[in-house]
Structure 1
Amino acid sequence: MNFSKTLPALYVLSAICATSVAAAEKSLVDYFLPMEPQAPLVSEGIWGDPNVLPRDIKNGLEDPEMTRFCYWDGGVVKDDDGRFHLYASRWDQSLSHSEGWHLGSKGIHAVSNDIMGPYVDEGLAYPQWREGMGHNVMGLRMHDGRYAIVTSEITHGEVFVSDSPDGPFELLGQIKWDANGFDPGLARYNQNGRMSNVKILLRPDGKYMIIARSTAPMLSEDGILGPYKIMGDRVYRNYPELPQEKNEDPTVWYSGGLYHIVYNHWPSKTSHHFTSEDGINDWKYRGIAFKKDETKIFRYKDGTINDWTYVERPTAVVEDGHVSHFLFSVIDVGKGQDRANDRHGSKIVVVPFDGVAFDRDMQSRISRESTNQ
């Protein structure tokens, strides 16, 4: 054997294997990209504790002087003209955070020419219905091309639709669900029968899928209102080492041939990542998506970091088959410290994400797992 020729080849093979293993060990947080400021970072004349200063007030949606509104939730929809529509919730800053989210929260529509922002608040999305009441607000484009807004948590789980992303949005109806032999509590959050944290996904097979607060997959073959059949238990149920309570804020998306769920365990400020090949069965744990006290995802290209105290409501934005950005609802202090008419508050931040590399590495990981079975 000619070892002088064989050894270099072995070194190359070893390097390829090492690269593959390194990719397999990466978690979702490793694919967040630095934020490109939409305007110079500022500290003067805006709200917020020093941990979120300086910042780009043109990123996402906020009231920089905190004279009117606090913002929360949100889902972005791109229209046929290339504009970006953010459907979210807001409440008057004269309310504390603890009061605002459930006593004064309303569904709104904002628009931007750039996915990163700035988004201009265009007002209430459906003012004719209960004075615009809404929370856990998200938007999507339906299979038939119409635009839809969903609200839950302080409402029962309603869907509003329009032929135009600018509205007017009219109530289509309330989401229906079928326990299908499972615990009804997987669909509704409380004794009032309300749904919570509802995210609706358009599946590539033409069906609609809901992932709500419980993370249990629910499937509709009869349109966006359902009925949605509960198809399984909580995705983390088979992982007793993970917290089984106080989980919330799931987001769901389909990319790279996989269904993904990321949800938040709020006491530890830790978000967890799961995948499934069919979106119903065999949800596999893929590790910590991000952990507030350990990972800093709100980083600008110059190295400046905004360290938001609470990071919640993650929402994936899929463009051209891959996640391009995540939305987050953030607040600069503890929720109980955000009081009425003060200099604290919340906003929606947009963070870029390398979804192409993420899907490529996930596919390599799935292929390697199949080979090892």
Structure 2
Amino acid sequence: MKKLVHASILCILIWSCSSKVEEKMLVDFFQPMPLQAPLVSDGIWGAPNVIPRDTANGLEDPKLKNWNYWDGRIVKSDDGKYHFYGSRWTQSVNHSKGWHDESKGIHAVSDNVMGPYKDLGEIWPQWNNGKGSNVIGLRMHDGRYAVITSEITKGEVFVSDNPNGPFKLLGEIKIDLNGFPYELARYDENNKGAVKNGMVGNMSNVKILLRPDGNYMIIPRSTAPMLSTNGILGPYKIMGDRVFVKQFPEYNVWHMEDPSVWYNNGIYHIIVNHWPTKTTHHFTSFDGINDWEYQGVAFKKEANIFKYTNEIVNDWVFVERATPYVENGHVTHIIFSVLDVKKGQDKANDKHGSKIVVVPFDGKAFDDYMHRKLKLKKEAFNNKD
């Protein structure tokens, strides 16, 4: 009998150890960047910390003759081309004036997800002088292409049957507060910072996700989940509070920004940046609405995210707007808006600027890891009454 008991205990211990999942961060699944062109040092903009670099990675103006780039999401068209919908502003102004006053929605295209992307110009020059920020693109449930702008605009959706446009204004995103505070969806009229910056009532950091149930979900800057059962314009009903409040009740809510959301095989993911500490946090949910659970730090700015396959690293000072590119159900790349110096040091007509960088990501391994980690919890969630 004692031998049987000891054997049973041993089996339990072996099973327990073998079923444990080694704790990892999202950053552990980033991969080195393959070179799209030889690394360049001469004749390009940038502080020494970002030289040499691959100017053919992502989207940039290497000699900074015209543009700084920011924001964006990559969308693949049926012909296999990769379309980048983002924003740009003239290098003849500083960073703050650029994103706030001069930013316009633009479209770029590449044959390779890593780039280089060719700037094809403004997306909606006929509307509001082309104004656009926090610009992202997506394919709608009906197959049409959509591009969204917010932050310096109210939160508008433009659509086209063709990835190359023309894009026409479909309308402004509508919100159903559902009893929740106004500032979860838009800048609060009573928020002095929003009033000072002239953004009263605008949506911010809008990320739209096509849910597998045929609905649309928005995660705005607040990270409060918002659901539309009536198409891409909504109304979007606010379904809950900020997903990070239970984990970080002490955080100033305006210090959290640039959330991204994606879905894989039963798990919704949100990453959101706490900009004072340059730390991006990771949360998951099984229905995308309730029970958001903290999964730890996704990555920090100090991590060697921008490492090439030859081991050279570019140390970008500002790393923002992390946005996953999903293909065949897995994140394969994450794009970033990056700046080589502090924002106050990027002056007009200087040698400092911003660009879009594309970093490979092992989404298949990441999803396998997350499903192993959350398997028992997922089974309990699916079996609950």
Normalised-by-shorter TM-score class: over 0.9
In the TM superposition, residue 312 of structure 1 has moved relative to its aligned partner by 0.3
**240-249 vs 350-359, which deviates more?**
240-249
Which of 289, 292, 295 matches 2:301? Answer: 292
SS of the residue corresponding to residue 373 of structure 2 reads helix
**Given residue 277 of structure 2, which amino acid in structure 1 is its aligned partner?**
S
SS of the residue corresponding to residue 164 of structure 1 reads coil
**Length-normalised TM-score, structure 2:** 0.91
1:279 aligns with 2:277: no
**Given residue 38 of structure 2, which amino acid in structure 1 is its aligned partner?**
P
> Partner residue of 1:315?
323
In the TM superposition, residue 24 of structure 1 has moved relative to its aligned partner by 3.8
Which of 64, 70, 73 matches 1:72? Answer: 70
Contact 1:237/1:244 (<8 A) preserved: no
SS of the residue corresponding to residue 63 of structure 2 reads coil
1:266 aligns with 2:305: no
Whole-angstrom CA distance in 1 between matches of 2:116 and 2:16: 43
- Aligned ranges for residues 1-373 of structure 1 at < 5 Å? 21=20, 23-191=21-189, 192-240=200-248, 243-245=251-253, 246-293=255-302, 295-369=303-377
Contact 2:174/2:233 (<8 A) preserved: yes
**Given residue 272 of structure 1, which amino acid in structure 2 is its aligned partner?**
H
Contact 2:286/2:378 (<8 A) preserved: no
SS of the residue corresponding to residue 210 of structure 1 reads strand
In the TM superposition, residue 242 of structure 1 has moved relative to its aligned partner by 6.2
CA 1:238/1:44 → structure 2, altered by over 3 Å: closer, same or farther? Answer: same
Contact 2:307/2:313 (<8 A) preserved: yes
**Given residue 266 of structure 2, which amino acid in structure 1 is its aligned partner?**
G
In the TM superposition, residue 26 of structure 1 has moved relative to its aligned partner by 0.5
CA deviation map 1:114-168 (0-9, x unaligned): 0000000000011100111000000000001100000000000000000000000
In the TM superposition, residue 370 of structure 1 has moved relative to its aligned partner by 5.8
**Length-normalised TM-score, structure 1:** 0.94
Q: Which segments of 5 or more consecutive residues in structure 2 lack a partner in the other structure?
A: 190-199
CA deviation map 1:280-333 (0-9, x unaligned): 00000000000112x111011111101100000010111000101101000000
Whole-angstrom CA distance in 2 between matches of 1:227 and 1:257: 25
Whole-angstrom CA distance in 2 between matches of 1:160 and 1:51: 38
SS of the residue corresponding to residue 243 of structure 2 reads coil
Contact 2:281/2:296 (<8 A) preserved: yes
Whole-angstrom CA distance in 2 between matches of 1:278 and 1:242: 26
Whole-angstrom CA distance in 2 between matches of 1:371 and 1:221: 27
In the TM superposition, residue 30 of structure 1 has moved relative to its aligned partner by 0.4
Alignment RMSD? 2.0
Contact 2:135/2:149 (<8 A) preserved: yes
SS of the residue corresponding to residue 29 of structure 1 reads helix
In the TM superposition, residue 190 of structure 1 has moved relative to its aligned partner by 3.8
Contact 1:236/1:244 (<8 A) preserved: no
Whole-angstrom CA distance in 2 between matches of 1:269 and 1:19: 35
**235-244 vs 195-204, which deviates more?**
235-244
In the TM superposition, residue 256 of structure 1 has moved relative to its aligned partner by 3.2
Whole-angstrom CA distance in 2 between matches of 1:370 and 1:112: 38
CA 1:189/1:24 → structure 2, altered by over 3 Å: closer, same or farther? Answer: farther
CA deviation map 1:216-252 (0-9, x unaligned): 0000000000000000000011113663421000000
Structure 1 runs (4+) greater than 2 angstroms displaced: 16-21, 240-245, 368-373
Whole-angstrom CA distance in 1 between matches of 2:181 and 2:333: 34
Contact 1:66/1:93 (<8 A) preserved: yes
Contact 1:24/1:362 (<8 A) preserved: no
CA 1:228/1:240 → structure 2, altered by over 3 Å: closer, same or farther? Answer: same
Whole-angstrom CA distance in 2 between matches of 1:372 and 1:169: 45
**Given residue 261 of structure 1, which amino acid in structure 2 is its aligned partner?**
I
SS of the residue corresponding to residue 25 of structure 1 reads coil
**Given residue 105 of structure 1, which amino acid in structure 2 is its aligned partner?**
S
Size of the aligned set, in residue pairs, is 364
SS of the residue corresponding to residue 251 of structure 1 reads strand
Identical pairs, percent: 63
**Given residue 357 of structure 1, which amino acid in structure 2 is its aligned partner?**
A
In the TM superposition, residue 368 of structure 1 has moved relative to its aligned partner by 4.2
**Given residue 331 of structure 2, which amino acid in structure 1 is its aligned partner?**
V
Contact 2:182/2:188 (<8 A) preserved: no
Whole-angstrom CA distance in 1 between matches of 2:375 and 2:175: 35
Q: Which segments of 5 or more consecutive residues in structure 1 lack a partner in the other structure?
A: none
